[in-house]
Structure 1
Amino acid sequence: MTKKTPSLISSEFFEPAKASEQVAPKETALEIVARLEKSLVGRNPANQQSPRPPTRVQIPLWSEDHRPVLHDLVRSALFTCGQRDARMDLKAKPIYALEHIKITYTGEELRQRDYDVYLQILHLSRGATVDNRQEWVEFEARSLIKMLGWTQNSRSLVELRETIRRLTACALEVTRSRTKSSVPVVYGGPLLLKYAGAQEGGFDEVTFWKVQINSEVAAQLKPGDYTRIDWQIRTKLSPLEKWLHAFYSTNQHPYPMKVETIHKLCGSRMAEIKFFRRAIKAALDRLTEVGFLSSWQLDDTDKVKVVRSQMLTIQDRESNNDVRT
């Protein structure tokens, strides 16, 4: 008689399980993933919401004779009064600004002629409703050059192309606090998102452009945060005069400000303050000549005091903030 070898496995595994003891079937990998995702959604109510649609921005309207200057940008050295010196290549560079504004900038140095192009592109967008999927702003290169008051030649076509490239390749971050206790507003990115063009003649002679503005920056054009400036006056001015015109436009009764402070705010690269003092005197004379200023003076403490002569509309009065030294 053969002796049975004891089984190494308990006999209960060979017996049918009772109904109450039935083992649940194993989950597949796909079922496990689905269960975990469902569990996570249940824990985070925000995930149950549909994706938020892009924020749509209504760009304000203004007259043909005006352009909108954003206070944060013109109360700083973001667009310098440089003209002849080689442009600096900046990387996360803190930009000098009034105390309630902080700006960092990456890209090729921006100047007043770059700002002219940006203002003109904004002008073509006035009244439009845009978002990150916005339609292109389209324009003829020669028409824009004419509106800018530039000379109609190949050199201007090349400069326009270089400017559009700069406005797209840059990156700025702006933080603004109205008061020490208020929640800061932060925004940034390039001034133009992207561009395309059609060319004729020389390689750099693009004659038709379409560009997309950064709606996050354009969204800051709100009452109290921007001012409409006289475009006809701006086109007659030098770079330093343009900076002063935009800066003083943002307040009907500007506070006196030291020459040294203005030297930093406008991004002047004059090494000696005495030469800049001479330049600012000439610029203030010019602003008086064109009717923007009623008068100006330089006091014994080296502070510039100006008196505006332009009358403001109700909207402009509401949109102007105090400029602090």
Structure 2
Amino acid sequence: MDTHPSQLPIPFHESSEQIPDSGIAKVLDRMRQRHEQEAIAAGLPDWPENKRGLPNGALRSALFGISPKERRTYAVERHVASIEGLAVFITRGPNLMQHHLDVWEQCLRLGKDQGTGRRIEFTAYAFLKSIGRNTGKSDCEWLKNALYDLAACVVRITDGNRTYFGPLIHGGTRDELTGRYVIEINPKIALLYGAGRWTQLDYAQRQQLRRHPLAQWLHAFYSTHASPYRYKVETIRNLCGADKETELKKFRQVLRRALTHLEAATAWRCCIDDGDCVVVEKQGRCQIAIGIAGTVLEPELSTNRPPDTG
């Protein structure tokens, strides 16, 4: 997992001043609020031009999946598969795929540079060029639909003691004559960038994998691991948002091809071992045994409105 001096730790400092028992809760609550406000005001952390900074909650789950079949599903309080320690829900809106992640990471990059909570302006042409896409009419339509999906998808991501809920981008405007967009990134999304809770993706490597969504998902997922765990093939199938009806045997074949693409793009050593576990080794680092990180929170799908706990 990448760390960076400009990450946004949200410390809760203990005061040396004696606080009456009756006032401790109120004082700590004010401290938390103040540190949250400072983190939000600081905006997104900085990262190099050749990287893309993303919250681990979006990468260690099936929030941005790979199944075209799942893409056609409109979620209502859908619990997304994730590793233990995360809780990820799509509370309303379309399910998202890897191409949505391509668009969202560029929106976040613009939010880093231009500021969250402010007008972020760009043309369809410039945006498409920046993510390595063609700039024809169909590509402009593709971008429009991807932005609509990101604005329509309301998520709830809990990582540790912080929960973000809201759309992945706020709404915006589009000039039909010039193709110029104005969007906004919710400043509160900065709370997902606490220390150790975000990762810098290698942009050039991800670009090499653009036409291989499973390889892209694997690249993003394993980029959050400094020394990756071994995960069962079945665990990876659940985590990446693959079609639930896909037989494990067929998924394993697709996975082997994706690992070949991943290895070529990153120089990581990637394979499936005799225990049917995915092995990804970076710069000769040894893997940790199967265990803690092999636990997956299974997704649940409800088409009913959740009860009002009001």
TM surpasses 0.5: yes
Is the CA contact 2:71–2:96 (under 8 Å) kept in the aligned structure 1? no
Aligned alpha-carbon RMSD (Å): 2.6
Question: 1:124: which partner in 2?
Answer: 110
Q: Which segment is superposed worse, 224-233 or 75-84?
A: 75-84
CA distance in 1, matches of 2:184, 2:284: 33
Higher relative contact order (CA closer than 8 Å, sequence separation 6+): 2
Aligned-pair CA distance for 1:86: 5.2
Question: 1:260: which partner in 2?
Answer: 234
Question: 1:31: which partner in 2?
Answer: none
CA distance in 1, matches of 2:114, 2:195: 17
Pairing partner for 1:297 from 267, 271, 286: 271
Question: 1:275: which partner in 2?
Answer: 250
Alpha-carbon spacing, 1:305–1:285, altered in 2? closer, same or farther (3 Å): same
**Residue 78 of structure 2 is aligned to residue 93 of structure 1:** yes
Question: 2:181: which partner in 1?
Answer: 209
User: Which SS does the other structure have where 1:68 is aligned?
Assistant: strand
Alpha-carbon spacing, 1:252–1:292, altered in 2? closer, same or farther (3 Å): farther
Alpha-carbon spacing, 1:74–1:86, altered in 2? closer, same or farther (3 Å): closer
Question: 1:187: which partner in 2?
Answer: 164
Question: 1:32: which partner in 2?
Answer: none
Is the CA contact 1:192–1:213 (under 8 Å) kept in the aligned structure 2? yes
Aligned-pair CA distance for 1:218: 3.1
Is the CA contact 2:87–2:157 (under 8 Å) kept in the aligned structure 1? yes
After superposition, residues 49-64 of structure 1 pair within 5 angstroms as 55-64=40-49
CA distance in 2, matches of 1:57, 1:171: 24
Pairing partner for 2:118 from 135, 148, 151: 135
CA distance in 1, matches of 2:292, 2:207: 24
User: Which SS does the other structure have where 2:229 is aligned?
Assistant: coil
Is the CA contact 1:258–1:304 (under 8 Å) kept in the aligned structure 2? yes
CA distance in 2, matches of 1:175, 1:169: 19
Unaligned runs of 5+ residues in structure 1 are 1-44, 178-183, 201-205, 312-321
Q: What is the number of residues matched between the two proteins?
A: 253
Aligned-pair CA distance for 1:129: 4.7
User: Which SS does the other structure have where 1:235 is aligned?
Assistant: helix
Alpha-carbon spacing, 1:305–1:187, altered in 2? closer, same or farther (3 Å): same
User: Which SS does the other structure have where 1:199 is aligned?
Assistant: coil
Is the CA contact 2:71–2:95 (under 8 Å) kept in the aligned structure 1? no
Is the CA contact 1:75–1:247 (under 8 Å) kept in the aligned structure 2? yes
User: Which SS does the other structure have where 1:135 is aligned?
Assistant: coil
Alpha-carbon spacing, 1:195–1:90, altered in 2? closer, same or farther (3 Å): same
CA distance in 2, matches of 1:290, 1:156: 25
**Residue 221 of structure 2 is aligned to residue 250 of structure 1:** no
**Residue 82 of structure 2 is aligned to residue 112 of structure 1:** no
**Residue 200 of structure 2 is aligned to residue 225 of structure 1:** no
Aligned-pair CA distance for 1:214: 1.8
Alpha-carbon spacing, 1:310–1:77, altered in 2? closer, same or farther (3 Å): farther
Is the CA contact 1:69–1:246 (under 8 Å) kept in the aligned structure 2? no
Is the CA contact 1:72–1:101 (under 8 Å) kept in the aligned structure 2? yes
Identity of aligned residues (%): 29
Question: 2:148: which partner in 1?
Answer: 165
User: Which SS does the other structure have where 2:281 is aligned?
Assistant: strand
CA distance in 2, matches of 1:191, 1:218: 12
Is the CA contact 1:187–1:217 (under 8 Å) kept in the aligned structure 2? yes
1:288-315 residue CA offsets vs partner (Å, 9 max, x unmatched): 112341x12322221111112499xxxx
Unaligned runs of 5+ residues in structure 2 are 1-25, 286-290, 295-310
Is the CA contact 1:175–1:187 (under 8 Å) kept in the aligned structure 2? yes
Letter in 1 for 2:97: R
Letter in 2 for 1:169: A
After superposition, residues 229-244 of structure 1 pair within 5 angstroms as 229-237=201-209, 238-244=212-218
CA distance in 1, matches of 2:247, 2:94: 24
Question: 1:199: which partner in 2?
Answer: 176
